[in-house]
Amino acid sequence: MKKLLAIVGILVVMTALTYGQEFVSSQAPGAKALLFQFQGLDNLNANAYAGGLGMKFFLSEYLALRTVVNINYDTYSEPYYDSANPTQTGTDYESNSFGIGVGAAIEYHLTKGRLTPYIGAGVQFYTLSTEELEAVPSGTTQPKVENGYMDPATGDIVPNASTSIGVVLLIGGEYYITNGLSLSAEYQIGLKAESIKDAEATIGAVSLKVPGGTATDIGITTAGFLTLALYF
């Protein structure tokens, strides 16, 4: 919430500094902008930047194309420790994940001015791969799990990676805070098909494959977030 208030405060100051400035709309053929998205209209969780490179291009005064490329890489490690035998040494636990996504959407702006509502449609693609190396005592072969994890309670292998493609309808609005700077928000009505990747566990020369599955989601969401556009 504090970061949300900071963002709002900055925007208020910028608006005050440019008060009285003649407004010039960025809705013109060839206009382009860098896009920055902040999470969570549903709970105003504007405390994190949603990483990725987003751009917007106006094809005409009322029609705009926007694209985004998103890359995520996470790694985590935890030292080996056996509470029943604290002096026991071993190999540490490690996990890695890599995801990449692309998306494109068309916006049709209903008006041209400081506040402009729009409708549109878009497509999204995202794929995630994971790898997990289990913690084991020294002298023991370390299990490796790809696109899944080992349940510590049962030892079962559970798939946790997937590839998804989605189609969305958009409805939102863009407000120009000042020349070349806007803030927009939107609702999305989306259909997403997801394919869960097979998980594979390897212990030495032995391997075990656990089939994934499929999932389909449809719904209304505020996944469009708060978007800040910087025109240049």
Residue 33 structure tokens: 């902008």
Q: Which two tokens stand for residue 48?
A: 């994190």
Q: Note the pLDDT tens digit of each residue in 63-105.
A: 999 999 988 899 999 999 999 999 999 999 999 999 999 999 9
Would you say residue 152 has pLDDT above 60? yes
* Strand pairing class (148-150; 144-146): unpaired
- What is the pLDDT confidence band of residue 20, given thresholds at 50, 70 and 90? low
Confidence of residue 225 (pLDDT cuts 50, 70, 90): low
Domain 2-231 has CATH 2.40.160: yes
182 φ, ψ (degrees, to nearest 5): -135, 160
Concatenate the DSSP letters of all residues of 11-72 into one string: HHHHHHHTTTPPP----STT-EEEEEEES-TTTT---SB--SEEEEEESSSSEEEEEEEEEE
Sign of CA dihedral 217, 221, 223, 229: positive
Question: How far apart, in whole angstroms, are the C-alpha atoms of residue 16 and residue 177?
Answer: 10
Write down the pLDDT at residue 43. 40
Q: Which residues pair with 47 in a beta bridge?
A: none
Alpha helices in 66-168 (DSSP H): none
Judged by average pLDDT, the poorest of 28-37, 42-51, 58-67, 90-99 is 42-51
What average pLDDT score do residues 52-60 get? 91
**Percent of residues, the chain, with pLDDT higher than 90:** 65
Q: pLDDT-based confidence at 39, cuts 50/70/90?
A: low
Distance between CA 16 and CA 83 in Å, rounded?
60
Q: Tell me the average pLDDT across 121-125.
A: 94
Q: Which residue has the tokens 């803030």?
A: 183
- The pLDDT of residue 81: 95
In the chain, where the domains are located: 2-231
- pLDDT mean over 33-53: 59
**Could you give the CA distance from residue 104 to residue 201 in angstroms, rounded to a whole number?**
36
pLDDT at 51 over 80: no
Mean pLDDT for all residues in the chain: 85
